[in-house]
């Protein structure tokens, strides 16, 4: 008897909610100023101390967490980064490090990541054109720095060395070129993440027709290179174009899992000062681990984002693919419980749905007040709470 292929609906609305994946920021500090950075104006120097992180590791382990993704800032800026990673290593966490490459300068730097338990590294790379990448990342030489780090990391025993690519107008037409670069260098994986627009005056509904084409192209390229290069997007909309061609059960399940919105079901984000949110791209905090137990915050977060208790609505009303994408990306739930990218016309449809929508001008993503805090030269090497700058 042939086993039926899995579907996205099989993975939506799980009864048991466990914060398996933790997006964790050890610092907001960074030596770049990326044009799309969701954390650029949230930076705060009152970051976790090492002792606080020791307690947090225990709390997350007790809650059932099993994987951590280091994000928010350039985490290797902290001099105690490797010691913190070792704490998670000793609890058998699967560890993914997002990085720009500046602190992987020598073979020894790459090997230290292996030794402290990092399993997967994802280096930021937005273009095969150095000028485009440097412009997006806000620093001359960023491209060459990233490529150097990729080479050094590939020479280690890391499970995965991948590329993290933010896609938008500047590189929609270069997706296949970026994939070819990954293939040429022997990279294992590549993530294409659509800009989540957490910065004022960037949201534009006219963009989405082009993004639909990009999604279709990425899907076909994923099929073409399966088994050689792991290509994914982290976007629930991709689940609406899944067909029967991915017929290997494990690979199909992995594709579905990588594109689900796991906010409040199996994922949580904790920023460098303890604020707990649904994911990195959601600014509204549900609590702070410095003020109350993580387990209590997690229960509240699950209730807040429950699609079982309060199903998606608005543009999702009577949508034929709701069981696949389940309201899309919650970071785009600007107005109500639906992905604003479907604000006028649903993803994959050519005609407006005719449901009430909010003016684009009113859809300004919330952004905490603050100023850019980069790497002022006068402070290099001075202790800053949990770690010191490099």
Please state which of the ranges 3-17, 30-44, 293-307 shows the lowest mean pLDDT.
30-44
Distance of alpha carbon 77 from alpha carbon 60, whole angstroms: 23
Contacts (Cβ under 8 Å, ≥6 apart) of 27: 47, 72, 73, 74, 75, 77, 78, 272, 386, 387
Least confident of 85-89, 229-233, 294-298: 229-233
Q: pLDDT > 90: what percent of the chain?
A: 68
Tokens of 252: 């199909």
Helices (H) and strands (E) in the chain, counts: 10, 12
Q: State the pLDDT at residue 203.
A: 58
Is 38 within 8 Å of 196 (Cβ atoms)?
yes
Q: What is the CA radius of gyration of the chain?
A: 20
Q: In whole numbers, what is the pLDDT of the chain averaged over residues?
A: 87
Residue 154 in 3-state DSSP?
Answer: helix
Query: How much is the average pLDDT of 241-270?
Result: 94
CA atoms within 13 A of residue 327's CA, in its CB half-sphere: 23
Residue 25: the pLDDT is 96
Q: Mean of the pLDDT values across residues 206-227?
A: 92
Q: The whole model's pTM is what? A: 0.89
Look at phi and psi of residue 264 and say left if phi exceeds 0, alpha if psi is from -120 to 50, else beta. Answer: left
Beta carbons of 339 and 329 less than 8 angstroms apart = yes
Q: What pLDDT shows up at residue 106? A: 97
φ, ψ for residue 65, nearest 5 deg: -65, 145
Closest by CA to 241, choosing from 210, 263, 217, is 217
**Nearest by Cα to 222 from 197, 195, 259:** 259
pLDDT band at residue 33 under the 50/70/90 scheme: confident
36: pLDDT confidence band, cut at 50, 70 and 90? confident
């Amino acid at each position: 008897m042939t086993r039926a292929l899995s579907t996205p609906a099989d993975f939506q609305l799980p009864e048991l909610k466990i914060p398996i994946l933790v997006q964790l920021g050890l610092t907001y500090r960074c030596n770049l100023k990326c044009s799309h950075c969701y954390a650029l104006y949230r930076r705060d120097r009152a970051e976790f101390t090492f002792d606080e992180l020791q307690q947090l590791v225990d709390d997350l382990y007790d809650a059932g967490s099993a994987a951590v993704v280091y994000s928010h800032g350039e985490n290797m800026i902290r001099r105690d980064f490797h010691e913190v990673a070792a704490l998670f290593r000793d609890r058998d966490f699967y560890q993914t490090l997002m990085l720009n490459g500046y602190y992987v300068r020598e073979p020894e730097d790459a090997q230290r990541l292996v030794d402290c338990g990092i399993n997967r590294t994802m280096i930021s790379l937005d273009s095969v054109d150095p000028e485009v990448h440097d412009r997006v990342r806000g620093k001359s030489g960023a491209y060459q720095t990233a490529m150097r780090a990729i080479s050094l990391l590939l020479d280690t025993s890391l499970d995965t060395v991948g590329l993290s690519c933010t896609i938008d107008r500047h590189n929609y037409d270069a997706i296949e070129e970026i994939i070819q670069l990954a293939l040429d260098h022997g990279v294992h994986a590549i993530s294409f993440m659509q800009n989540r627009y957490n910065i004022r005056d960037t949201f534009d509904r006219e963009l989405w027709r082009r993004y639909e084409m990009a999604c279709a192209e990425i899907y076909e390229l994923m099929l073409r290179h399966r088994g050689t290069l792991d290509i994914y997007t982290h976007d629930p909309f991709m689940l609406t174009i899944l067909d029967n061609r991915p017929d290997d059960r494990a690979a199909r399940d992995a594709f579905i899992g990588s594109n689900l919105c796991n906010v409040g079901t199996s994922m949580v984000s904790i920023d460098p000062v303890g604020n707990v949110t649904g994911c990195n791209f959601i600014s509204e905090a549900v609590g702070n681990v410095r003020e109350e137990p993580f387990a209590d915050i997690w229960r509240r977060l699950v209730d807040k984002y429950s699609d079982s208790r309060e199903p998606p609505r608005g543009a999702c009303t009577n949508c034929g693919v709701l069981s696949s994408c389940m309201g899309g990306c919650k970071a785009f739930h600007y107005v109500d419980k639906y992905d604003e990218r479907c604000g006028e016309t649903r993803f994959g449809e050519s005609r407006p749905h005719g449901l009430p929508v909010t003016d684009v001008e009113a859809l300004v993503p919330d952004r905490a007040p603050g100023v850019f805090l980069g790497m002022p030269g006068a402070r290099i090497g001075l202790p800053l709470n949990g770690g010191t700058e490099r």
